Amino acid sequence: MILHLNGAKQSDAPIEMETCRAMRQRQKYDGVALVAPYTEPYARYSSHTAHWWIARALRGCLQTAGLNKNALDGFCASSFSLAPDTAVGLTQHLGLCLRWLDHIPMGGASAIVALRRAARAVQAGDAEIIACVAGDTNHTDSFRKLLSGFSRFASDAAYPYGFGGPNMSFALLTDHYMKTYGATRADFGKICVAQRDNALHAPGALMTKPLTLEQYLNARMISDPIALFDCVMPCAGAEAFLVMTTDRAVKMGLPFARISGLIERHNAHTDDPIQFRGGWTMDVDELYAMAEATPEQIDLLQSYDDYPVISMMQMEDLGFCAKGEGPAFVRRHDLTIDGSFPHNTSGGQISGGQAGAAGGYLGLVEAIRQVTHTAGSTQVKGAKRAMVSGFGMINYDRGLCTGAAILEAGDI
């Protein structure tokens, strides 16, 4: 028993934080199936609500699986434009009777976190079939309004300085990354041009014209060194998938993906003066160990691409190359669907559009398609193992939420 006397410390020898962190490994995500990846085609602007978009995606996802919504007993939602509702309001709005419900406000990390929680719920028997959905609408003034109420630290300490939103925050860390590691705009341009090439194969991508490196380099500056084609286009859209047991997926005859590894981390590396890496680095070894795989065995990467510097950072932090070697790695590889390192095969957000929280789902939904060989015109030949990564929430000066998963094809 610990006595508190006159403000005495709880313990003279506090347990070291590192000891706590290293105590136990994450358990595997065996027996969990991801099925019915569904994308509700995006629109630049929409007069509909987030509720409408989420309903469309849920319906499309259930139809893909051949299920009635009454079969669901778990539901997880992510959205920036659902206010004043949360997932709770959606249960009544959409007529869902559930025994497991979650709402994940983690932006670009929402899908990985939703998947992790849903997988654990299915493993533990807390739910049988869970729908994970993210969707947002985009009215003509939505983006400005979203920025205005984003976070307390952003209101206090970021927006008063030019009100540049995420463009400004990422410009600062891109500037620092370029100066530190010698990345050039052409390196980032290569990522964007390859994604545009991929988007031309993706039926739903908002960007439908080819992009050349020259066009990328000559585009107008938005917040130096970030130029027009480094930025995503805010849009309306929704994405969804189902989580269930592999047994059920097999019984239903549904193509499914398995989780061979998954990590989640928030607010890592707080001592870094400016962000040059994400929380992935703390857990990436465990990710590969759990998946019993190496980076060389990953057939494609769906990185979170709100800006190309973040994709480059993920290539480093997820072990495809060492810190600072991102530029050389990109120069060395062809990042298109048929290339040596297929990356953001559906065009990512940079060429597909950023549908709010659905932007966090885009890569995961595409990865399920890829490993189940249902990606159609964006299919990477022989894709067996995909890495999906999430990154979310510039609360002040850096993204706080990170996560990544390795998905593999399930055997039907």
First-residue to last-residue Cα distance in the chain: 54
Candidate list 44, 88, 163, 323; residue touching another protein; CB under 8 A? 163
Contacts of 3 (CB under 8 A, 6+ apart): none
Structure tokens at 63: 């139809």
Candidate list 84, 160, 253, 382; residue touching another protein; CB under 8 A? 160
For 46-178, strand residue ranges (E) read: 74-78, 100-103, 130-136
Interaction of residue 171 with another protein, rule CB under 8 A: yes
Range 291-298 contact pairs with CB under 8 angstroms and sequence separation of 24 or more:
291/260, 291/261, 291/385, 291/406, 291/408, 292/260, 293/260, 293/261, 293/385, 293/406, 295/319, 295/320, 297/385, 298/385, 298/386, 298/387, 298/406
Question: How many residues make contact with another protein (CB under 8 A)?
Answer: 38
Interaction of residue 269 with another protein, rule CB under 8 A: no
Q: What is the phi/psi pair of residue 247, to 5°?
A: -55, -45
Q: How far is the CB of 269 from another protein (least distance, A)?
A: 12
In whole angstroms, give the CA distance from residue 108 to residue 276.
Answer: 17
User: What does the buried/exposed string (b/e) look like for 188-199 if buried means 16 or more CB atoms within 10 Å of the residue's CB?
Assistant: bbbbbbbbbbbb
Interaction of residue 326 with another protein, rule CB under 8 A: no
x/- map, 177-206, another protein, by CB under 8 A:
--x---------------------------
Candidate list 60, 74, 165, 326; residue touching another protein; CB under 8 A? 165
Q: Which is nearer to another protein, 70 or 148 (CB)?
A: 148
Interaction of residue 217 with another protein, rule CB under 8 A: no
What DSSP assignment string belongs to 148-184? HTS-HHHHHHTTTTTT-HHHHHHHHHHHHHHHHH---
Place of tokens 């989580």: 243
x/- map, 333-372, another protein, by CB under 8 A:
----------------------------------------
- Span 223-252, contacts to another protein by CB under 8 A: 223-226
x/- map, 120-159, another protein, by CB under 8 A:
-----------------------xx--xx---xx-xxxxx
Of 61, 65, 32, 29, which Cα lies nearest the Cα of 252?
A: 65
Question: For another protein, which stretch binds (CB under 8 A), given 106-114, 119-127, 173-181, 370-378?
Answer: 173-181
Q: Which is nearer to another protein, 129 or 172 (CB)?
A: 172
Beta bridge partners of 32: 245
Candidate list 79, 81, 110, 167; residue touching another protein; CB under 8 A? 167
Structure tokens at 71: 């079969």
The distance from CA 78 to its chain's CA centroid, rounded to whole angstroms, is 12
Interaction of residue 8 with another protein, rule CB under 8 A: no
Of 410, 118, 72, 29, which Cα lies nearest the Cα of 246?
A: 410
x/- map, 35-54, another protein, by CB under 8 A:
--------------------
Interaction of residue 176 with another protein, rule CB under 8 A: yes
x/- map, 381-400, another protein, by CB under 8 A:
---------------xx---
Q: How far is the CB of 178 from another protein (least distance, A)?
A: 9
The site for another protein (CB under 8 A) is made up of: 143-144, 147-148, 152-153, 155-165, 167-169, 171-173, 175-176, 179, 220-226, 270, 273-274, 396-397
